[in-house]
Every structure is written in C-alpha cells, then in structure tokens.
Amino acid sequence: MARTLTRLKKSPVKAAPSEVVSTPGTPKLDNPEFRPSSGGWLARGGVLAFVAVLVLWLGPVVLLGSEEWFALSLAAVYAIIGLSLNVLIGYTGTISLGHQAFVGIGAFASAYVVTELEQPFLIGVLVAALIGVAQAMLLGGLALRVTGLYFALITLSYGLFAQDTLFGIQSITGGGSGREAPLPTGPDNFAPYYFICLAFLAGVLFIDWRLMQTKGGRALLAIRENPRVASTFGINVRAYTVLGFGVAGLFAGVGGALLAHLNGFVDSTEFSFSLALVFVLMTVVGGLRNRTGIVIGSAFFALLDLLIRKIPGLDSRLENLDTTIPVVLLVVGLIVAVTGGLKKAWIRAGIGAAVALLAILLISPVEVPLIEPQIAGFPPLVPETFALVVGPVLLLATLVLYPGGIGQQIRPIQHWLAGNRLDLHVGGEADVQITDVRA
C-alpha cells in the first residue's frame, strides 16, 4: 500500500525545490552552484554528437572502409551481452559463470522460431527474449536458496549442462549439426544489420537506464549490498532478485538472437565455458555498473581480432615472434615467483614496461630477434589466438590495479558530460569494487 509523507507537510521547514533526479552510479550535479556556460554546454553537446557520428558513420564507413560491418555488428551484440551480465554481477550482485547458457538459449530459440516455425525475425527475437527471461528467472529462484560462491558454482555447472544437454536436444537445436539462422536483411548483407543491432543496443541501454533511475534498480543495489536493510525499506528481496535475473535474461536472450542471425548458424560448440569467462572478462574490464565502460569493453573484445588485423604488419609480426612472447612471459613470471609477492607499484611498472616492449616489438620497424628453436611438436603461433592471451592479462590487470576497469578511467569524462566541472579525480576505487556477494 502506498503511503505518502503527509505529516511532513505540517513541518515548519519549507521543502527545497530541485530539478535533477539523481541515480546511484551515474555522475550527478555535485556542486549546485556550478552550471556550465553556454559554451560549456556546446562543448559537451559537441562531444556527444561526435561520438554519435563516429559510431554511425565515421567509424564504419570512413575508418573501416565499409568492410567491417560484420565485426561491428558483433561488437554491438557483445555490448548487449555485457550489459546483461552487468545486471547480474553489477546490479544484483550475483556472479554468473554460465552466462553462455543465457545467450545460447536465446540464440537457439530465435533460430528455431525462424527456421522451424517460419516466423519473421522480430518474432524470433521476441521469443528469444521471453525464453531468456523465463530461464533466468528459474535460475533466480534457485539463487534465493543458494547464495554467494556456491551459486557461482551452480552457474558454472549450469553453463556446461546447457552446452551438453540443453543444446544437444536434437529436435530443437539440431543436436550436433546445429541450426541455421538466416540474416533478416538478406544473405551477407551486414550493413543494415549493424544498424538493427545498434537499435536493439539503444533499446537495452534505455531499459537499463530507466531501471536504475527507478525503484527497481535502487532496490537491486540495496539488496546487493545489504538485503536486511533493503527489506526494512519495504523491498521484497526475493521478488526483486528474481526481477534482476529476469532483466539479465531479457538482455541476454535478445543478444543471443542477434548473435545467431549474425553468424547465420547456431551450434552448441560455440557456447563453451571459455565463452562464459570471456563474457565475465569483458564485463569486469569494462567496469561494473558503468554502462558506457561496459559497451566499450565488450566492443573492444569483439573487435580485438579486427584491431590486430588492422595494425599494419602486426599479423606477420606475430607469426615471426613465434616463441618469443610466451618465453618472455615465462621468464617474467619466474622472476616474479622467485622474488616474492609484488607490490602494486611494481606490478604497474612491470606491466607498463611489458606493454612498451610489446609495442616496440610489434609496431616499430625494429628487427625482432627470433628465439630458436621452435617448440618441438607444436605449430607456429597464430595471430588470432593472441586475443585469447591479451584478454585475461587485461582482466588480471584490471582486478589487481584498476578494479573499476574502463569505466573507472572514463568516469571523469562522464562526470564532465553530465554538466559538472572537469575533475580528474572523480570516482575513487571504493566506488567500484565487485562487492562481496553475501558469501
């Protein structure tokens, strides 16, 4: 029953008028006296407009020469998936190591609906979204009984179970041979599909934004931190936890459907445990509870292969480097192991040096000495898998050094864009830890 603060109106103190609605996690007008000048607003507007132009035209058409619509669509889809995992880890405070199941269920659902039931693409996405919500809420119900690290184990097991069993059901998923999922814009016509994916991304961002601006999102954040206190605020902890899962499932289902049609084909082998880790990776590196950071982080991981291809000569360099990189890593690792625990400052310095060295080796015209011999029994290194190594290194660096990820780094910019004075120190570490999930 809604109750209003009727008694307060009898108080002699007048209410202070204010216009801005504030939300946890986003930058606010912290200094009521500071208002940007019209020039300031113009600058901020200009930056936002530039970003829009970059995403919609400059990037895809000018910088990438209209060749990379597939990769860009993948980036948008990964952004949606990252946002979905963020709802679980960042807002609801539940770690999910089986998120590939959420995405895969959406993918197969849409593929099935479009190819078997012969419905249009949008119906496919809708069904995928609904099924995503349903299975997520079931898992959410389980989360009410089993919490913390043990629930993480359950999600891990669930992900494997989904890949082996659920995605193996012949009639729905086509068993070992998978299922087709045709591109709605026509075969290989990825350019318009990119904009379709962007539209869905915008929709997901909108829902996420509204969620966090209203009582649902606040309830989630309160439950994540302190469920007992949340219940004294009148928050039904169980209901909102399941709601959080539902929203995550919604986004994941949509992401899965878009992914299916992008690839043209869905098959259970792509939904492995490693994929789940990559999802966690991109969400954490992106920065929990920071939508922009997560979009950037997820897009980065989706585009990593492309980036490697685009840096001139990087391809062949990686092939030439052969065993050098792992050997260097090994040597550094041994030194670290032998000399004892590292202070964070040392780790930062070490990583900085390693990055610089790597950059020089890869990009500069310096001749790279090979370390002979090649590892007996193994083929030469392949550039594509370089991404598999870079990712986890970034994750570890994020966790140890910059827990807020990319989000933490861009917070000053977001703070400025929201209409505040530019403050480079906004967003301390305390802000952005992955909070203990009631373990």
Among positive and negative, which fits the CA dihedral 12, 18, 23, 24? negative
111 or 281: CB nearest another protein = 281
Whole-angstrom distance, CA of residue 227 vs CA of residue 258? 35
CA distances from 322 to 309, 327, 378 (A): 17, 10, 11
If one asks whether residue 351 binds another protein (CB under 8 A), the answer comes out as: no
Amino acid making up residue 408: Q
- Residue 251: strand, helix, or coil: helix
Instruction: Give the one residue of 58, 191, 371, 434 binding another protein; rule: CB under 8 A.
Output: 434
If one asks whether residue 62 binds another protein (CB under 8 A), the answer comes out as: no
| DSSP H or E segment with residue 38 | helix 38-53
- With contacts defined by CB under 8 A, name the span among 33-41, 66-74, 105-113, 272-280 that binds another protein: 272-280
188 or 429: CB nearest another protein = 429
Instruction: Give the one residue of 128, 197, 235, 308 binding another protein; rule: CB under 8 A.
Output: 235
Among positions 10-29, residues that touch another protein (CB under 8 A) are: 10-11, 13, 15-19, 21-24, 28
- Residue 179: strand, helix, or coil: strand
Among positions 189-218, residues that touch another protein (CB under 8 A) are: 206-207, 210-211, 213-216, 218
59 or 315: CB nearest another protein = 315
If one asks whether residue 95 binds another protein (CB under 8 A), the answer comes out as: yes
Q: How many helices (H) and strands (E) does the chain have?
A: 17, 2
- With contacts defined by CB under 8 A, name the span among 37-45, 77-85, 108-116, 169-177 that binds another protein: 169-177
If one asks whether residue 153 binds another protein (CB under 8 A), the answer comes out as: yes
If one asks whether residue 425 binds another protein (CB under 8 A), the answer comes out as: no
Instruction: Give the one residue of 233, 264, 356, 424 binding another protein; rule: CB under 8 A.
Output: 233
Question: Shortest Cβ distance from residue 213 to another protein (Å)?
Answer: 7
Amino acid making up residue 328: V
Among positions 75-94, residues that touch another protein (CB under 8 A) are: none
190 or 301: CB nearest another protein = 301
Whole-angstrom distance, CA of residue 380 vs CA of residue 125? 41
60 or 246: CB nearest another protein = 246
Asked if residue 114 lies in contact with residue 121, where contact means CB atoms within 8 angstroms, the answer is: yes
Whole-angstrom distance, CA of residue 87 vs CA of residue 180? 29
The closest of 125, 105, 346, 351 to 254, measured between CA atoms, is 125
69 or 167: CB nearest another protein = 167
Whole-angstrom distance, CA of residue 202 vs CA of residue 208? 10
